[in-house]
Amino acid sequence: MASSDYERRIAARFATFDQDGNGYIDREDFSAAAKAVLAEFGLAARCDKGQALYAGAEAFWQGMAGIADRDGDQRISRDEFVGGAVKRLRDNPDRFAEIARPFLHAVLAAADGDGDGAATAEETVRVLRAFRVPEDIARLAVGALDADQDGRIAEPDIVDSFARYFTVPE
């Protein structure tokens, strides 16, 4: 049972990255995620926050491809994700945090309406909604992110939780 639960969790992580659901993780999925955040917060692609989001998404894609795209076809198959990405990210969660950080930094800047350096719980739910995370799971995740319940979710919380979520302990 433990291994099937593990496989189910891996499948959920893959689905989160595969934003368009075509069975591969590729550059389009990352730019789609950036675009969805812009749309959710009513920002233009050409504004500074929009540019930062697209640049962060591209860096995240390049980092993931470097780790997982073993056959170099510019897409990460489910096998490459399970066999390469998951194991290597689990062995090195700091590396994952590094490749994800510019994107997460830009997402936080886009979501942080009052510019105080942190997102509110509601803003974080909107980010997760943009990434197609179901509302109930998003609310649970935000509750866990805001461990001290002060209603503010800052970059270190987001990077750490994101790395923990995607590095899936066995």
Q: What residues line the site for Ca ion (CB under 5 A)?
A: 18, 20, 22, 24, 29, 69, 71, 73
User: Closer CB to Ca ion, residue 77 or residue 167?
Assistant: 77
Query: Residue 69 Cβ, how far from Ca ion at the closest point, in Å?
Result: 4
Q: Tokens in use for 140?
A: 């649970």
Helix (H) or strand (E) holding 25: strand 25-26
DSSP secondary structure code for residue 74 in this structure = S
Phi, psi dihedral angles at 34 (to 5 degrees): -60, -45
Neighbours of 49 (CB within 10 A): 18
Interatomic CA distance for residues 89 and 70, integer angstroms: 15
Interatomic CA distance for residues 17 and 165, integer angstroms: 12
User: Closer CB to Ca ion, residue 60 or residue 157?
Assistant: 60
Interatomic CA distance for residues 21 and 131, integer angstroms: 12
User: Closer CB to Ca ion, residue 66 or residue 151?
Assistant: 66
DSSP secondary structure code for residue 150 in this structure = S
Query: Residue 143 Cβ, how far from Ca ion at the closest point, in Å?
Result: 29
Q: Tokens in use for 50?
A: 């929009």
User: Closer CB to Ca ion, residue 83 or residue 143?
Assistant: 83
User: Closer CB to Ca ion, residue 89 or residue 119?
Assistant: 89
Query: Residue 131 Cβ, how far from Ca ion at the closest point, in Å?
Result: 13
